[in-house]
Amino acid sequence: MNKNKQLEADFEQMVERQRQTIYSVCYLFADERQLADDLFQETLIRLWQGFASFEGRSEERTWVYRVALNTCINQNNKHRRRPDTSPLQMDMDFYAEEDRCPAASRLHKRIAKLHPFDRALILLWLEDLPYDEIAAILGITVENVSVRLVRIREKLKTITD
């Protein structure tokens, strides 16, 4: 197998292993299915662009989270800079799964109101990642992770749906 074919095969395997990780991040930064799918595709592009140079200095999952979070935060920031010309319509199918669990729906809506960095942090915490891995993904200290999580949890209690 030539080098390019092997690289493509390795990339496909990595995407298959990390598909849920990527989609979890995209879902948290999207308010409709189409946006989640777009973020997923944009994340795959960014992962592919960096895949050949990924040296394994961090765990694969850590690298994927970092790329996915950076992609979603950057896209979120671009979207916020554009004037909104029409009211946002929620994709009801996108939230159909959440309708089965109202508490999850409320939590998702509250998390969506957080600053993108805080959303990223709470997502990683909800994914049960250890504080040291969260710190590595976000580029902050373990102590900062702990302090920020306490503040975010308190903030989530005060956000109204």
For 107-112, the CB contacts below 8 A with 24+ separation are 107/156, 108/28, 109/161, 110/156, 110/159, 110/161, 111/28, 111/156, 112/28, 112/31
- Regarding whether 101 and 54 lie in a shared domain, the answer is no
Task: List pLDDT tens digits, range 56-72.
Answer: 888 899 999 999 999 99
Phi-psi bin for 87: left (phi > 0), alpha (psi -120 to 50), beta?
beta
- Regarding whether 104 and 68 lie in a shared domain, the answer is no
Residue that is last in its domain, among 17, 49, 81:
81
Task: List pLDDT tens digits, range 86-125.
Answer: 333 444 444 445 556 777 778 888 888 899 899 999 999 9
| Residue 105 placed within a domain | yes
Residue that is last in its domain, among 47, 81, 115:
81
Rg (CA), the chain: 17
| Residue 154 placed within a domain | yes
- Give the range of the structural domain holding residue 40, as residue numbers without chain letter: 1-81
Tokens of 62: 């850590």
Instruction: Provide the CA 42 distance to its chain's centre, in angstroms.
Output: 12
Q: What is the pTM (predicted TM-score) of this model? A: 0.73
- How many domains does the structure of the chain reveal? 2
68 — phi, psi (to 5°)?
-60, -45
